[in-house]
């Protein structure tokens, strides 16, 4: 499939650890810059500091236990993409921003997920996760909870039968933004400490999550650093999508947009508590 797509050059952007508001502002600024003719198709890898709970675009903020987040030293933010809540810690997060006309993401939402999942699979296989798979079009779960990793999604990446990578997407201004999280290590049930649930609900959902989802370290039997994971995932995307990756920073125009989006959108209640 990739051999029929003309080779193209994308920017490879690996940003320093940042808070949730900055990370979401960067992804959106890249999209707006590209839509305005001032940006480049970009594959980005990043981390979160401090740990951050992100809500899906249409998720109600009452799912967040704000007092618990403060006590834990965590922040929370609303994503521009759909899906359910994710606790970002001990992970590699990726984002892809390109034109909706790019053959690598063209077609339906499901077709786009399928194409980009090839990059995820390629990178994970380079890390030794030879049994990774990407499931197809997933039905809605009528009992889905507030957390992302306990609900199915289109072309989610699984390893040994458990969900490993969760992704979300938005199409805006003729562009596609897809980002997702690869848990490198740690206890995935920590997310329930940040959600407004009863103790019984947290216990029940924690048991279900341990059955449904996993981390890379748990499946490989070794820890993978952020740097090692980023290098492997970049190689996987390059091969699967037939792209050359050229490291380059944000432009001055993009950084100015990041600063504005962070200050005026991602740190204010009119966005984070709009639902």
Query: Is 69 among the residues known to form the active site?
Result: no
Catalytic-role residue among 53, 127, 148, 250: 148
Other Cβ atoms within 10 Å of 147 Cβ, number:
27
Q: In the chain, which residue ranges form alpha helices assigned H by DSSP?
A: 20-35, 66-72, 109-126, 199-212, 216-220, 226-241, 252-261, 269-272
167 token code pair: 């992704």
- Cβ atoms of 191 and 87 within 8 Å: the answer is yes
Burial 149-180 (b: 16+ CB within 10 A, else e): bbbbbbbbbbbeebbbbbbbbbeeeebbbbbb
Residues with catalytic annotation? 148
């Amino acid at each position: 499939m990739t051999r029929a797509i003309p080779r193209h050059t994308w920017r490879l952007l690996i940003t320093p650890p940042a808070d949730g508001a900055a990370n979401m502002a960067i992804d959106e600024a890249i999209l707006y810059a590209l839509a305005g003719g001032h940006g480049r198709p970009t594959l980005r890898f990043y981390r979160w500091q401090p740990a951050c709970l992100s809500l899906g675009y249409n998720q109600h903020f009452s799912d967040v236990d704000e007092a618990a987040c403060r006590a834990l030293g965590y922040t929370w933010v609303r994503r521009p993409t759909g899906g359910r809540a994710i606790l970002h810690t001990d992970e590699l997060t990726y984002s892809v921003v390109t034109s909706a006309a790019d053959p690598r993401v063209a077609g339906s939402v499901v077709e786009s997920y399928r194409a980009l999942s090839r990059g995820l699979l390629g990178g994970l296989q380079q890390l030794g996760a030879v049994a990774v798979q990407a499931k197809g079009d997933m039905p809605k779960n009528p009992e889905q909870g507030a957390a992302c990793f306990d609900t199915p999604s289109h072309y989610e990446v699984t390893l040994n039968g458990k969900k490993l990578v969760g992704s979300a997407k938005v199409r805006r201004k003729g562009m596609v933004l897809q980002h997702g999280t690869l848990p490198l290590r740690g206890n995935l049930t920590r997310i329930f400490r940040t959600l407004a649930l009863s103790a019984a609900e947290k216990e029940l959902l924690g048991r279900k999550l341990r059955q449904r989802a996993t981390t890379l370290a748990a499946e490989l039997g070794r820890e993978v650093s952020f740097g090692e994971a980023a290098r492997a995932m970049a190689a996987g995307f390059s091969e699967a999508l037939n792209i050359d990756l050229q490291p380059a920073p944000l432009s001055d125009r993009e950084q100015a947009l990041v600063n504005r989006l962070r200050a005026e959108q991602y740190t204010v209640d009119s966005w984070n508590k709009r639902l």
